[in-house]
Chain A
Amino acid sequence: MKKTHIKNFLVAMTATAALGTASTGYAEDPIRIGGLYILSGSAATYGEFAQKGIDLAVDEINDSGGILGRQIEMIYEDTQGKASVAIQAARKLVYSEGADALVGLDSSGVAQGMVPTMPELQKPLIITHAATPDVTGKLCNPFTYRISVNVAQNMKAAAMVAAETDATNWTTIGPDYAFGHQSWEFFGNYLKEINPDVNLMSETNFPRFGAEDFTPFIDRVMDSDAEGVLISVWGGDLVNFIRQANNRGFFEQDLELMFTVGAATEVLTALGDEMPEGVHLSTRYWYEAYDNDINDRFVKSYIDAYGNPPSYNAEGAYAAIYAYKQAMEAAGNTDGPAVAKALSGMSMEAPNGTVTFRKGDNQAMVSPNWGISGPMHAEHGIRTLTSLQIFDGEKVARTIDETGCKL
């Protein structure tokens, strides 16, 4: 037992030492990109969809000659949705697997913990999903970028949608961590700005992330004076929530319901026609919202490969790989600080139009989508989005002063 341990240890040591030298070495070696996603538990579908988007981008790029003549190799680690696990996994990817760059992060809580450690790693990170404003705000740093919509952008759009409704009493049901609390905070502030007459109820509902039973929270809202509800529950939790809300008759009540990540195709696919019609659904990218060649090609090849339409998480992850391609080609190498610098202020064409990483906070100016759930899609087996609104990413973003980011 003891002997094999030492042997394993030596093998692992030589292997990692070899990898360490390889990563700084020769042009024919692959470029390694580390992916950090939730790959287990109730939100694991998000990690899987991100992997699908990434695989598509990697195959396309590798088939057309790679980046700087080198192939891309992906290495994934499971963050389990925990910051401490993600930080260790990032260290493992960079120092042990020789990753040149990182993509990922589904959870805002994980992002808040991990982002401050990025300057130590000296490798760029493009966040493709986690939405907490802080990582492109008070916690920002020159190595951290985000290609997806953040809570501030999405909640400003949400407030604009909410202000058009008749509801004045608003409450929330959201997961009990950064994302749920910040969604409500930003939504409330923006809505008050537009319409000072609204009443933000003090009774809010924050079920634990991964809670199986949402019925107490559903009942509580049904018993209250709420006329509008901001629901930021997401992932597998949202699927459970909708099913339980259907059983309780929640959707038969005259409520304005706003699901901040309700049009995630992961959720729509899982629910089919259990997702009610006539509720406000948002997503960071709706696959039918953008009329351009890149989007047409992306949606087509995604459906061909996997049989269902791409989610925002797949799109963000797909676009992030192309962002690295452009940045590494601009830098002329894969050196961490150089690639991070090339990303700053960079504009690229992505499925959701022209995406620019804003200088000053490294947040991509991408557009939140809001719509109302409509009839089932004939081919895709999911709800369609009607009255679709595509908000201008720059207009709904905070100013750089407001972000608190000093780069």
Chain B
Amino acid sequence: MKNKVLMAILAVVIAGLIAVPWIASYFYVFIFTEILVLGLFAASFNLIFGYTGMLSFGHAAFFGIGSYATALVLIHLQWSFLACLLVSMGASALLALVIGFLSVRLNEVYFAMLTLAFGMMVFAIAYQWRSLTNGSDGLAGFTLGSFGLGLDLTLGNPLVYYHVVLGIVVIASIVLYLICRSSFGMILKAIRQNPERVSFAGLNVRTYRLVAFIIAGTFAGLAGGLMAPFLRVASPELLHWSMSAEPILMAILGGTGYFLGPFIGSAAFVLLETWITTYTESWMLVLGIILAMMVIFFRKGLLGTAIDWWMEVKK
């Protein structure tokens, strides 16, 4: 019964998202594009954070590499959009393999510090390799070509781009969700709760952590590949450690214990930023207060708290 209600709510939300261009003002098309892309970024992060219990401070490296890969392919090769996204995912998967191989052997704060260090290294490379990445200015001025698969879509039109992003994010989320629900996902959860026990059961914890890290990196790369054509620029800020903090904040804000939590967190984050910056430049102060309140009083995040409340009332 409850599952049916949840499914119905989800269907209504997706229908609402499809209808955004017709029910909200034009500006919200941009806002919701950003929410979806950052939501996918945060959801990919939550696979290693919420499910596997690894706090990475370098997740923006994969997001940024995805952005740069798409931008570079669009500038130099003008491949179709889908091909760009595949390149983004491939590049970030490869990077995640390298960084993950060196990082997953460590735990907790050491893992966090190591991922932070690798993230900053990638940032430094993008910042200094002017001939390839155009340094601190980033890559801009690329045009969007065809979508691929023979579909005739004008990606330069923000409305079209929004629906493309919505479609890709929904498909990617379903795939990510199936991974989380699979036996593989169950083992990740078990690793978070008790890695020794999983290890005693004869499973190689490090391999599972590495595979989770690569999957998360790949989906972050996909999100990055969607971000560059939206922003029309791939700049080093997308790789900066402060960008790595965003999925952490979003996951905590929305709730790390639920698959859709990071999406709710992304929506709250972007909408609050948009509304608050209209009144004051210091929106980070407001966000800080909200986050502190969340962590102290609503540890399960917006979604977790809402579901708990609903379960309580409708018992």
| B158-A120 in contact (CB<8A) | yes
| B137-A12 in contact (CB<8A) | no
| B30-A91 in contact (CB<8A) | yes
CB neighbours (8 Å) of B158 from chain A are 120
Q: In angstroms, how far is the closest chain A Cβ from the Cβ of B162?
A: 12
How many pairs of A and B residues are in contact by the CB < 8 Å rule?
Answer: 87
| A113-B130 in contact (CB<8A) | no
Q: Mark B293-315, 1 if CB is under 8 A from A, else 0.
A: 00000000010011000000000
| A95-B233 in contact (CB<8A) | no
| B140-A112 in contact (CB<8A) | yes
CB neighbours (8 Å) of A208 from chain B are 136
B55 at the interface (CB under 8 A from A): no
Of the candidates B233, B281, B306, which one forms a contact with A40 in the assembled complex, judged by CB atoms under 8 Å apart? B281
Q: Compute how far the CA of A88 lies from the CA of B35 in the bound complex, rounded to whole angstroms.
A: 13
Q: Compute how far the CA of A176 lies from the CA of B158 in the bound complex, rounded to whole angstroms.
A: 33
Q: Give the contacts of A74-90 with B (CB-CB under 8 A).
A: 78, 82-84, 87-88
CB neighbours (8 Å) of B271 from chain A are 5, 9
Q: Mark B128-144, 1 if CB is under 8 A from A, else 0.
A: 00100001111011010
Q: Compute how far the CA of A13 lies from the CA of B21 in the bound complex, rounded to whole angstroms.
A: 12
Given A20-B26, A113-B235, A177-B137 contact (CB < 8 Å): yes
B200 at the interface (CB under 8 A from A): no
Nearest A-chain residue to B29, judged by Cβ = A95
Q: Mark A7-22, 1 if CB is under 8 A from B, else 0.
A: 0110011001101100
Given A82-B237, A177-B137, A92-B281 contact (CB < 8 Å): no
Extra A-B contacts (19), CB below 8 Å, given A40-B281, A95-B30, A109-B137: A16-B25, A19-B25, A82-B235, A82-B237, A83-B137, A83-B138, A83-B231, A84-B231, A84-B237, A91-B30, A109-B136, A109-B138, A112-B137, A113-B137, A116-B140, A116-B232, A139-B141, A177-B136, A181-B130
A209 at the interface (CB under 8 A from B): yes
A interface residue numbers (CB < 8 A to B): 1-2, 5, 8-9, 12-13, 16-17, 19-20, 39-40, 78, 82-84, 87-88, 91-92, 95-96, 108-109, 112-113, 116-117, 120, 139, 176-178, 181, 208-209
Given A2-B302, A84-B233, A91-B140 contact (CB < 8 Å): no
Q: Compute how far the CA of A96 lies from the CA of B137 in the bound complex, rounded to whole angstroms.
A: 27
Q: Give the contacts of B235-251 with A (CB-CB under 8 A).
A: 235, 237-238
B268 at the interface (CB under 8 A from A): yes
Q: Compute how far the CA of A124 lies from the CA of B218 in the bound complex, rounded to whole angstroms.
A: 39
CB neighbours (8 Å) of B34 from chain A are 88
**SS of A interface (majority):** helix
Q: Compute how far the CA of A117 lies from the CA of B30 in the bound complex, rounded to whole angstroms.
A: 14
CB neighbours (8 Å) of A5 from chain B are 268, 271
Given A108-B137, A109-B137, A88-B232 contact (CB < 8 Å): no
Q: Compute how far the CA of A84 lies from the CA of B136 in the bound complex, rounded to whole angstroms.
A: 12
Q: Compute how far the CA of A8 lies from the CA of B302 in the bound complex, rounded to whole angstroms.
A: 16
B interface residue numbers (CB < 8 A to A): 24-28, 30, 34, 130, 135-138, 140-141, 143, 156, 158, 231-233, 235, 237-238, 268, 271, 274-275, 277, 281, 302, 305-306
Q: Compute how far the CA of A207 lies from the CA of B106 in the bound complex, rounded to whole angstroms.
A: 35
CB neighbours (8 Å) of A19 from chain B are 25
| A91-B27 in contact (CB<8A) | yes
Nearest B-chain residue to A78, judged by Cβ = B281
CB neighbours (8 Å) of B238 from chain A are 84
Q: Compute how far the CA of A5 lies from the CA of B275 in the bound complex, rounded to whole angstroms.
A: 11
| A176-B24 in contact (CB<8A) | no
Given A113-B235, A117-B232, A95-B25 contact (CB < 8 Å): yes
Of the candidates B136, B140, B274, which one forms a contact with A176 in the assembled complex, judged by CB atoms under 8 Å apart? B136
CB neighbours (8 Å) of A39 from chain B are 281
Q: Compute how far the CA of A108 lies from the CA of B135 in the bound complex, rounded to whole angstroms.
A: 13
27 examples of A-B residue contacts, CB within 8 angstroms: A1-B305, A5-B268, A8-B275, A12-B275, A16-B28, A19-B25, A20-B25, A82-B235, A84-B138, A84-B233, A88-B34, A88-B231, A92-B274, A108-B137, A109-B138, A109-B235, A112-B137, A112-B140, A112-B141, A113-B137, A113-B235, A116-B141, A120-B156, A120-B158, A139-B141, A176-B135, A177-B136
CB neighbours (8 Å) of A13 from chain B are 24-25, 28
**Most chain A beta-carbon contacts within 10 A, residue among B136, B156, B235:** B136
| A2-B306 in contact (CB<8A) | yes
Q: In angstroms, how far is the closest chain B Cβ from the Cβ of A155?
A: 18
| B137-A87 in contact (CB<8A) | no
Q: In angstroms, how far is the closest chain A Cβ from the Cβ of B28?
A: 7
Of the candidates A1, A88, A209, which one forms a contact with B30 in the assembled complex, judged by CB atoms under 8 Å apart? A88
Of the candidates A87, A120, A181, which one forms a contact with B233 in the assembled complex, judged by CB atoms under 8 Å apart? A87
Q: Compute how far the CA of A73 lies from the CA of B33 in the bound complex, rounded to whole angstroms.
A: 29
CB neighbours (8 Å) of B235 from chain A are 82-84, 109, 113
Q: Compute how far the CA of A112 lies from the CA of B237 in the bound complex, rounded to whole angstroms.
A: 16
CB neighbours (8 Å) of B135 from chain A are 176-177, 181
| A87-B136 in contact (CB<8A) | no
CB neighbours (8 Å) of B27 from chain A are 16, 91-92, 95-96
Q: In angstroms, how far is the closest chain B Cβ from the Cβ of A40?
A: 6
Nearest A-chain residue to B232, judged by Cβ = A117
CB neighbours (8 Å) of B156 from chain A are 120
CB neighbours (8 Å) of B137 from chain A are 83, 108-109, 112-113, 177-178
CB neighbours (8 Å) of A87 from chain B are 231-233
| B232-A96 in contact (CB<8A) | no
Q: In angstroms, how far is the closest chain B Cβ from the Cβ of A121?
A: 10
CB neighbours (8 Å) of B30 from chain A are 88, 91-92, 95
CB neighbours (8 Å) of A120 from chain B are 156, 158
Q: In angstroms, how far is the closest chain A Cβ from the Cβ of B273?
A: 10
| A113-B138 in contact (CB<8A) | yes
CB neighbours (8 Å) of A12 from chain B are 275
Q: In angstroms, how far is the closest chain B Cβ from the Cβ of A37?
A: 12
Q: In angstroms, how far is the closest chain A Cβ from the Cβ of B229?
A: 11
